[in-house]
Amino acid sequence: MGLLDGKVAFVTGAARGQGRNHAVRLAREGAAVVAVDVCGPVSEYNTYEAATSQDLDETVRLVEAEGGKIHAERADVRDGAALSAVVAKGVEQFGRLDVVVANAGICNWSRFWEMPDDQWETLIDVNLTGVWKTLKAATPAMIEAGNGGSIIVVSSVAGMKALPGQANYAASKFGLVGLTQAAAKELGEFRIRVNSIHPYGVDTPMGTDQGSLEMLQAHPHYLSSFGTILTDTPLARTDDISDTVMWLAGDLSRTVTASHIAVDMGSTKV
């Protein structure tokens, strides 16, 4: 038996990286998965390769290899109508919605006064407004099902401790803290819990982005802001983050809501 037998989970940014791993782990624990990813470039300022449709196909293959069921579509979290349509199809296919993992996001680098307007605006639209649209699309189905449930918002260390060179990213991830708390208070009467998680660097294409190295090479005095307490590994594994997602998704965390959980090797305390 799995921790999530019979449940249905909606995962954004599922084509690769953390999102893919969350989808696979949810399936391993018994959940059916509804998955979306933009599967293409989002911002010209990103310095890592974009996910592709082939990446999303591989997520489907991996979920099915676990014996799981999945409905996956290409969709942009900035498109609320597209998200609502995918959720409706998922509920039609699987009968309910219990878990949301709002994982989709981008990251890029610049000092704030040198940052072009569209670099700021696009990142905020994806990372903050896109999560709001994700929750907006998913919540009515969760309320209608009447089963309670869990919403997991993927923020960042940068949502607890702003880092130099990415004011746009920090603003978006701090914004998710406020959205998480407001949503938790509004959804408590429906027994829907809402929490955010805050990873540090994770071994994914975004987490190994060379743009961060370029920023630190240009401004080495910024390096002191990027330390951790646990120094034996420079990057977390995707499973390290998924462990927390699985805990929040299931009943083991049934008393936890409006919380902001650092999965960060102690980075926020340095």
Give the contacts of 177 (CB within 8 A, at least 6 positions apart).
155, 159, 160, 196, 260
- Structural domain including 33 reads 8-269
Mean pLDDT of the chain: 97
Q: Is residue 2 part of a domain?
A: no
Q: Tokens 């420079």 sit at which residue?
A: 234
Q: Which of 151-160, 193-202, 225-234 has the lowest mean pLDDT?
A: 225-234
Strands 99-102 and 8-12: parallel
Give the contacts of 2 (CB within 8 A, at least 6 positions apart).
28, 29, 30, 31
DSSP structural state of residue 252: G
φ, ψ (nearest 5 deg) of residue 3: -65, -20
94 near 69, Cβ under 8 Å?
Answer: yes
Please, is 252 exposed, middle or buried when counting C-beta atoms within 10 Å of its C-beta (0-12, 13-18, 19+)?
exposed
pLDDT digits (tens, 9 = 90+) for 47-100: 999 999 999 999 999 999 999 999 999 999 999 999 999 999 999 999 999 999
CATH number at residue 173: 3.40.50.720
Q: Average the pLDDT over 123-138 and give the result.
A: 98
Q: Is residue 257 part of a domain?
A: yes
Distances (CA, A) of 117 to 50, 113, 173, 204, 248: 21, 10, 18, 27, 36
Q: Is residue 3 part of a domain?
A: no
SS3 state at 209: coil
Nearest to 114 by CA among 165, 44, 163: 165
Based on the residue annotation, tell me whether 48 is a catalytic residue of this protein. no
The total of other beta-carbon atoms located within 10 Å of residue 71's CB is 20
Q: Average the pLDDT over 133-155 and give the result.
A: 98
Q: Is residue 145 part of a domain?
A: yes
Q: Is residue 1 part of a domain?
A: no
Q: Which pair of structure tokens corresponds to residue 126?
A: 């994806």
Catalytic residue among 48, 169, 200, 222: 169
195 near 152, Cβ under 8 Å?
Answer: yes
Q: Tokens 């704030």 sit at which residue?
A: 112
SS3 state at 109: coil
Domain tally, the chain: 1
Is the whole model's pTM more than 0.95, yes or no? yes
Q: Is residue 91 part of a domain?
A: yes
Looking at residue 44, its pLDDT comes to 98
DSSP structural state of residue 110: B
Count of residues for the chain?
A: 270
Looking at residue 156, its pLDDT comes to 98
Looking at residue 233, its pLDDT comes to 84
pLDDT digits (tens, 9 = 90+) for 11-50: 999 999 999 999 999 999 999 999 999 999 999 999 999 9
